Structure 1
């Protein structure tokens, strides 16, 4: 998109943080609750590294007999907290056996309804199948909690699932508008530039280039078995998509360009969160992407 890149791709950098601080400094904004719409998972063809394809759009709490359950419908604002949940299988019992996906048995995401406050954590599971996701302080508002997993047994063995539930964080809320569009911005001194042309429901190449001080970055370190982790949420309903670069991993020598298979199912604004590691530190870039 020569004109399309400017018109279709919107890129804004929001924050960075360490792997041990999922809230990412600069992402703790207040936002007013927005209504989130429940929807059945969308059927998409297989795309390498894309949970949206096999796992659905994440807006449902149950799929194919698997259900995400939690006793937590509200969480306290402004302090570290724990979100507890279980995944029950078609037999109604908690699932305790999961396949490793990018070195983890469970990927857990928290996003507020205005697509701020992103957290990506890896919860721990007790022997009875109860998971606990440790969350950094949440700002007041409406949140959606996503669990991405692959059962290692039963009817869903080997199938990717993304299920979610909503949570309310009481308190005074202030809406944060989606940031303005741009194709290049900075975080922690790194400049991130996005190139590509995306149309809803169609697969297109997407390239991310990372530089620092005008020089190409070539010291990206592996993070979750890849050089970058890319998660997307759709404005309005917070539909979920999960993409990964197709670039092969060769030690601590990633960059400056990362190639993605990108296929987002619906038009409109998508908020992307790109996570990459250098020098042992995890950086998080928030990207607003306009899909035609």
Structure 2
């Protein structure tokens, strides 16, 4: 009998350890709204206007702690992007109407001004082509109208970027999005390979440094023309350049805020941004800057480690 007691104690200890492990795993899988990993919210549901395409797979996930929203959900922090249109015509301009409702379910009409606008609106096709950056107008009832230029066939994601200026979300920058489908044959374009440089309208832009995912850092972009540094950039949206980026895997949006001080019509050649990329992989960057009263939009694929 004495020789069997150690074995019996080991059996009880193993069973107890297994029970503790099972309880821990159960708690991880069921706490809150179903967080499988810290900072990820799998409990959100897709909107009626959302697509079942791969770009929707990350919808509803909260970013890593300390990072901004990835913009792939139509709701966040009690605020919701509402719209009735889930489709748009091909090949012609169309007005997209929407509203932002607050935690009380009512349309929000009080928005803070950021980079001279109360609302920034972006449209991008599923293959990250056809980029549009618009500034919609709001009616007194809180209905916004974004004048989209002609869309090509495919699934488009439409983003709203804003900051409530009253209520529970006052001062919090939010990005909400929905999708619309444009009927017709939609051949997908191949994403250009990653490169630190791009050329547009004779200007060469160069991204300096190697950004890392889930890390807030400064990112510098330089502008040159004919091999010489450009120093005549004009203010655009109260800065010398506006930068937007979308992830090639799911169209998540990165938060890139200008830090360069504006001082007349002689900006450049280096432009500094506060960058937060919520995940690694290839990102499609769109840099908008102005010279001689003309707006230029450069695009490149950036690899984020």
Where on the TM-score scale, by shorter chain, does this alignment land: which range? 0.7 to 0.9
What is the Cα-based RMSD across aligned positions, in Å?
1.4
Structure 1 contact 34–114 (Cα < 8 Å) conserved: no
Aligned partner of 2:130 in structure 1 is: 117
Instruction: For 1:161 and 1:205, locate their aligned partners in 2 and report how far apart those are by CA, in whole Å.
Output: 21
Aligned partner of 1:41 in structure 2 is: 62
Runs of 5+ unmatched residues, structure 2: 1-52
Aligned partner of 2:258 in structure 1 is: 245
Shift of 1:61: 0.7
Structure 2 contact 64–278 (Cα < 8 Å) conserved: no
Which structure features the higher share of helix residues?
A: 2
Which runs of structure 2 are paired with 1:1-292 in the superposition (5 Å)? 35-37=55-57, 38-45=59-66, 53-54=67-68, 56-292=69-305
Structure 2 SS opposite 1:226: coil
Shift of 1:44: 4.6
Instruction: For 1:129 and 1:259, locate their aligned partners in 2 and report how far apart those are by CA, in whole Å.
Output: 34
Instruction: For 1:227 and 1:249, locate their aligned partners in 2 and report how far apart those are by CA, in whole Å.
Output: 7
Q: How many residues align?
A: 252
Instruction: For 2:198 and 2:120, locate their aligned partners in 1 and report how far apart those are by CA, in whole Å.
Output: 27
Shift of 1:216: 1.1
Normalising by structure 1, what TM-score? 0.83
Q: Which digits, 9 at most, give the CA deviation of each residue in 1:34-60, with x for residues without a partner?
A: 543213231453xxxxxxx44x11011
Q: Which digits, 9 at most, give the CA deviation of each residue in 1:233-278, with x for residues without a partner?
A: 1112100113133221101110011122222111111111111111
Shift of 1:182: 2.5
Instruction: For 1:155 and 1:109, locate their aligned partners in 2 and report how far apart those are by CA, in whole Å.
Output: 25
Structure 1 contact 34–113 (Cα < 8 Å) conserved: no
Structure 2 contact 90–150 (Cα < 8 Å) conserved: yes
Structure 1 segments, 4+ long, off by >6 Å, are none
Which has the larger Rg?
2
Which stretch of structure 1 is more off in the superposition, 225-234 or 257-266? Answer: 257-266
Q: Which digits, 9 at most, give the CA deviation of each residue in 1:136-193, with x for residues without a partner?
A: 1000001111001111111111111100001101111101010123222311011111
Structure 2 SS opposite 1:244: strand
Runs of 5+ unmatched residues, structure 1: 1-32, 46-52
